[in-house]
Structure 1
Amino acid sequence: MTHEAPDILETEDDLARERALRAGLEEFELDEQDRSLLEGEWDETGDEGGQAPNPVLAIVGRPNVGKSTLVNRILGRREAVVEDKPGVTRDRVSYPAEWAGRNFTLVDTGGWEVDVAGMEFKVAEQAEVAVSLADAVIFVVDAAVGPTATDERVVRLLRASKKPVVLCANKVDGPSGEADATALWSLGLGEPHPVSALHGRGTGDLLDAAMKALPIDSEHGTLRPAGPRRVALVGRPNVGKSSLLNKIAGAERVVVDSVAGTTRDPVDELVELRGIPYWFVDTAGIRRRVHQTKGADFYASLRTQAAIEKAEVGVVLVDASVPLSEQDTRVISQVVDAGRALVIAYNKWDMMDEDRRPYLEREIEKDLVQVTWAPRVNVSAKTGWHTDRLVPAIEKSLESWDTRIPTGKLNAFLGELVSAHPHPLRGGKQSRILFATQASTRPPRFVIFATGFIEAGYRRFIERRLRETFGFEGTPIEISVRVREKRKR
């Protein structure tokens, strides 16, 4: 079963414009990447080559072994391209990274804080979530301290996961620490790599080993490329996710199957809604002790990330009876940052007083100003009220996520837009858009070739108009700009 977005048809005029603009682009300096992008068109079926998600490398280890320092060291080796992208508060647990020409996603578990009581259990539990997210793991141990009982517990978990593990012996600041590193052979995870994350010593060799361990294609996001669509039901703890899933599955009485990945993976449920089967990616398979710790938010964030990475659309459940919290906006951010389709479901709406509802609508519009493009459904997880409205919203978001605009049609749209609303002058110069193409779908990514910098505000204007013209309801859109100069004669 393949998923096709609706066709957007090109006219002869669109095609003629595309040919003319493409020919004009030859007057400018283009690199190999530009050419492969321009030549890498879809085939006639409208299906792109398909961007496999980057493999995921997780950094795990007990507190104070230098995980965050190592993460910063790895990220510091790449030139971060900071884009002024509209979005809600960013509080990330995963980052795009690159080493030796390979792109991968780095999962940082350094934000976990625990009290002393039950430390061993909680570190192992947190590592469990990170490992369920990852294709390979860097296990960080403090070489100066040597292996502790907590380290031993994490080792058992890593062995059970069957994931490739690279052992990092951190805090080896000089030759005298090499002997400490050698002692870590006793963990039975293979060669310990002596590193000083603080000073950068040995991190190159460590990353070379990590790249050998990391598979080319990620296991995440390509678990079921065909077949039923994959939905992550996410939200802050105790917002009613399990109740909603039980209500959906129970009311329809069609839980066809229950599939677990490894023992540490969340359980996925095949649920039929209005005659259409969906995989609901559930995080209930990973248990957390009930009592709260300071790190519980971070832990929930990791669990959410695990569900989102396996899904195509994130349904974020929010409690309508209380104001939108920072944790809610963080979950919405995670879906957007992961490039997944998005639906926002307001739970307990049936409990809202009739007089209160108009005011709540206005509050919601203000709260969700950065994601006004996401469909919103008001539901009750307890009674099942309006849960039937979830399916059309999910379908709409996925359709937008899959949509591809033909290059001719895209350039015709931009031509009209720019002639009516030119880019503002800066320093007496005006940036000119030369050509645009859609680099991929899922989510839609657009690349614009221009003679100068395109301001963030103007990029947002282009995004708004793209949505108005072509729909794109329920999907993030990425727009990047490549500034190119004329060839030297």
Structure 2
Amino acid sequence: MSEHDFHLGVDIDADFDAPPPDAPPAPVVAVVGRPNVGKSTLVNRILGRREAVVEDVPGVTRDRVAYDATWSGRRFTVVDTGGWLPDARGLAASIAEQARLAVDLADVVMFVVDATVGATDVDEAVVEILRRSGKPVVLVANKVDGVSAEADAALLWNLGIGEPHPVSALHGRGSGDLLDAVLAALPAEAPPETFAEAGGPRRIALVGRPNVGKSSLLNQLAGETRAVVDAVAGTTRDPIDEEITLGGQVWRFIDTAGIRRRHRENQGADFYATLRTQSALERAEVAVVLVDASESLAEQDLRIISMVVDSGRALVIAYNKWDLLDEERRHYLEREIERQLHHVRWAPRVNVSARTGRHMEKFVPALETALAGWDQRVPTSKLNQFFADLVNSHPHPIRGGKQPRVLFATQAGVRPPRFVLFTTGFLEEGYRRFIERRLREEFGFAGAPLDVTMKIREKRARKK
């Protein structure tokens, strides 16, 4: 990354071509097929880079892995799936489970067949599942490396799921036409969502580890049972939208499946639940991260909070099961928060019990505070007066005989608040953190992650 651009509070290797916060969720394309038909090679071809592991051995891909892709200006998510092993036990059950999971998630299914081998019994079994699903299917006849092999691809018409698209994932032959067919099969692109439309409810995503009480909290807020609650972790698989009236205002809550592990560690339905949770987060304006206060903060809690911060959504942290805490546990919890969540001190906090209804009345004020910070805009004149005072009282340290300064600042946007600083040089990380801390002290921005971008003034060549 160049010194000309950085994002404060965001991972230094973040993708700066990420979609804007108001972009609709990207459609999902699942790549399915038998082992060794070239699924991962095809995924790499679509991405234009080597991401998926490829080896000339069946079964290299075992877990489902998702990648962001773009073709002709259209964003979509590609899910690379493991192949179906012909000699596995309970073959029919395995095929059905794998295919249904892929089909349930996907907007379009890319079914990859090795044209040099032709359709097998396993292929035909999958076709039956795909046909019954009603989802759009793009049939990929892979390993068609030349004109002479196109006759093999034509034989796949017999599968009865439409035109086979001859490609060579290895060499790229036909990949452009294939992606054109995929885009044609995708649903029409939704316009960017306008948050807080007139009369429309504000959107809140409930996220957290499995079994921390998200569905119980939703039921408590609604005053009735609207989501299934069970002691077994992972009861919720799909996001559930519920409109609930609180404080005289209608809110739309999205109860999401619990996030267990990282993408490539997730198995089966949990993998897809994670993707759906991310999709729900994209649709939300504020995320309520539910934490089990009766247990020590887990790495997974920290990762979920980071996911919300990276998404640019407003953040509220709710510590559930507060009724189970004794004085000793409360003491240690405060120490854990101070040590592990110091980077999100700006997030409103509520201590609640979804089981007993304790402190439910504090939810609306916390949500309103976070949304107000997320929407907040500082006038340019006031912002520049703040930076003038800041630079005069706390100038950047001199490094190598140079002292970079902030020349001008502007707030480029809201939701989340985005700032652009025009500087004479690169600002050190410590000074950037200092700027964020002082911005919050001066203007608040409670509940909102800050996005600060630096533009360094180019040195002009001296005229001779």
Shorter chain as denominator, the TM-score bin is: 0.7 to 0.9
Relative to structure 1, is the Cα distance of residues 368 and 150 closer, same or farther in structure 2, using a 3 angstrom cutoff?
farther
Percent of paired sites with the same residue: 59
Query: Aligned partners of 1:424, 1:199: CA distance in 2, in Å?
Result: 53
Relative to structure 1, is the Cα distance of residues 340 and 223 closer, same or farther in structure 2, using a 3 angstrom cutoff?
closer
Whether 1:218 aligns to 2:190 is yes
Relative to structure 1, is the Cα distance of residues 416 and 322 closer, same or farther in structure 2, using a 3 angstrom cutoff?
same
What does residue 125 of structure 2 align with? 149
Query: Aligned partners of 2:383, 2:294: CA distance in 1, in Å?
Result: 42
The answer as to whether partners of 1:220 and 1:310 remain within 8 angstroms in 2 is no
Within the candidate set 21, 25, 28, 1:58 is matched to 28
Query: Aligned partners of 2:84, 2:346: CA distance in 1, in Å?
Result: 35
Relative to structure 1, is the Cα distance of residues 249 and 410 closer, same or farther in structure 2, using a 3 angstrom cutoff?
same
Query: Aligned partners of 2:65, 2:389: CA distance in 1, in Å?
Result: 41
Relative to structure 1, is the Cα distance of residues 452 and 414 closer, same or farther in structure 2, using a 3 angstrom cutoff?
same
Aligned length: 403
Q: Name the stretch that deviates more: 396-405 or 108-117.
A: 108-117
Query: Aligned partners of 1:273, 1:211: CA distance in 2, in Å?
Result: 41
What does residue 349 of structure 2 align with? 376
Alignment of 1:245-394 (within 5 A): 245-250=218-223, 266-283=239-256, 294-394=267-367
What does residue 77 of structure 2 align with? 106
2:95 partner letter: E
Structure 2 stretches lacking a partner, 5+ long: 5-19, 51-63, 228-236, 258-264
Query: Aligned partners of 2:351, 2:273: CA distance in 1, in Å?
Result: 24
**How much has 1:245 moved relative to structure 2?**
0.7
State the superposition RMSD in angstroms: 4.0
Q: 1:356 aligns to what SS in structure 2?
A: helix
Note the alpha carbon deviations across 1:174-213, whole angstroms, 9 max, x for none. 5565445445556666555444555555444444555566
Q: 1:322 aligns to what SS in structure 2?
A: coil
**How much has 1:352 moved relative to structure 2?**
0.8
The answer as to whether partners of 2:31 and 2:78 remain within 8 angstroms in 1 is no
Query: Aligned partners of 1:412, 1:459: CA distance in 2, in Å?
Result: 18
Relative to structure 1, is the Cα distance of residues 469 and 167 closer, same or farther in structure 2, using a 3 angstrom cutoff?
farther
Note the alpha carbon deviations across 1:6-46, whole angstroms, 9 max, x for none. xxxxxxxxxxxxxxxxxxxxxxxx9xxxxxxxxxxxxxxxx
**How much has 1:348 moved relative to structure 2?**
0.8
Query: Aligned partners of 2:46, 2:342: CA distance in 1, in Å?
Result: 34
The answer as to whether partners of 1:345 and 1:379 remain within 8 angstroms in 2 is yes
Relative to structure 1, is the Cα distance of residues 428 and 99 closer, same or farther in structure 2, using a 3 angstrom cutoff?
farther
Query: Aligned partners of 2:67, 2:424: CA distance in 1, in Å?
Result: 30
TM value normalised by structure 2? 0.72
The answer as to whether partners of 1:230 and 1:312 remain within 8 angstroms in 2 is yes
1:56 partner letter: A
Whether 1:126 aligns to 2:101 is yes
Relative to structure 1, is the Cα distance of residues 381 and 419 closer, same or farther in structure 2, using a 3 angstrom cutoff?
same
The answer as to whether partners of 1:281 and 1:310 remain within 8 angstroms in 2 is no
Q: 2:279 aligns to what SS in structure 1?
A: helix
1:58 partner letter: V
Q: Name the stretch that deviates more: 317-326 or 269-278.
A: 317-326
What does residue 232 of structure 1 align with? 205
2:361 partner letter: D
Query: Aligned partners of 1:96, 1:450: CA distance in 2, in Å?
Result: 33
Q: Name the stretch that deviates more: 333-342 or 307-316.
A: 333-342
Relative to structure 1, is the Cα distance of residues 466 and 150 closer, same or farther in structure 2, using a 3 angstrom cutoff?
farther
**How much has 1:272 moved relative to structure 2?**
0.6
The answer as to whether partners of 2:29 and 2:76 remain within 8 angstroms in 1 is no
**How much has 1:249 moved relative to structure 2?**
0.5
Query: Aligned partners of 2:399, 2:83: CA distance in 1, in Å?
Result: 45
2:31 partner letter: G
Query: Aligned partners of 1:455, 1:192: CA distance in 2, in Å?
Result: 55
**How much has 1:220 moved relative to structure 2?**
7.2
What does residue 7 of structure 2 align with? none
Relative to structure 1, is the Cα distance of residues 449 and 266 closer, same or farther in structure 2, using a 3 angstrom cutoff?
same
Within the candidate set 439, 444, 447, 1:474 is matched to 447
2:129 partner letter: R
**How much has 1:55 moved relative to structure 2?**
5.7
Note the alpha carbon deviations across 1:72-95, whole angstroms, 9 max, x for none. 5555569xxxxxxxxxxxxx9776
The answer as to whether partners of 2:39 and 2:112 remain within 8 angstroms in 1 is no
Query: Aligned partners of 1:381, 1:112: CA distance in 2, in Å?
Result: 42
Structure 1 stretches lacking a partner, 5+ long: 1-29, 31-49, 79-91, 256-263, 285-291
TM value normalised by structure 1? 0.69
Q: Which has the higher contact order (CA 8 A, sep 6+)?
A: 1
Query: Aligned partners of 2:195, 2:47: CA distance in 1, in Å?
Result: 27
**How much has 1:104 moved relative to structure 2?**
3.0
Alignment of 1:432-471 (within 5 A): 432-471=405-444
**How much has 1:246 moved relative to structure 2?**
0.9
Relative to structure 1, is the Cα distance of residues 305 and 320 closer, same or farther in structure 2, using a 3 angstrom cutoff?
same
Relative to structure 1, is the Cα distance of residues 62 and 390 closer, same or farther in structure 2, using a 3 angstrom cutoff?
same
The answer as to whether partners of 2:144 and 2:168 remain within 8 angstroms in 1 is yes
2:346 partner letter: W
